[in-house]
Structure 1
Amino acid sequence: MPSWVKQWLGFAACVIMRILRGLAKNKTLRYGVPMMLLIIGGSFGLREFAQIRYDAHKLHSTKIKDASFDDWKNIRGPRPWEESNTLQEQQR
């Protein structure tokens, strides 16, 4: 490799290192860019999780609409001092 190529590569490496050091000291790049990525990424993530919630709610509501309540009977749950099995059998 010719000597002028080695000198040019050394100079280019020096310039690149100076630029990287300057960027590393820049507070906007160190703190602002990661913060913006978290805010924007969190927005997209939250939208996806909310969509799952609404899809699940839509599926649940269709099951309730199709249900038949003609033969439905209200059975209360047992109190802490009552035995649950005997009380429920009496109410049925």
Structure 2
Amino acid sequence: MTEWLQRIKLQFGKNHLLSYGLPFISVVVLGPFLLRYFGEVRYKYRKVKQVPEEELKSMGFKPTEQITLEDEYKKVKEMDIENWEQKRGPRPWEETFDEPKK
């Protein structure tokens, strides 16, 4: 048994792939799986809880309407995107924020 361990230690010392590559590859491959559990703890034990929509209505909050992609597409379709004017924003180093000089 001890001869077997000594041979393995000797191989790890001589072979750079086993001494440097194997630990590096194992960290790269196994790291995300181990970090996933640490990330879950943040959401599992957080103090902020979601309030159901019925309770919000009883408190007097109005639920927001659902925004769909189709509705937004209709709004953009109605816009006049051919006639526009480029406006220069004020710079922090300018003293006045009036109309830019032409």
Same fold (TM over 0.5): no
The TM-score normalised by the length of structure 1 is 0.38
Larger radius of gyration: 1
**Structure 2 length as normaliser, TM-score?**
0.36
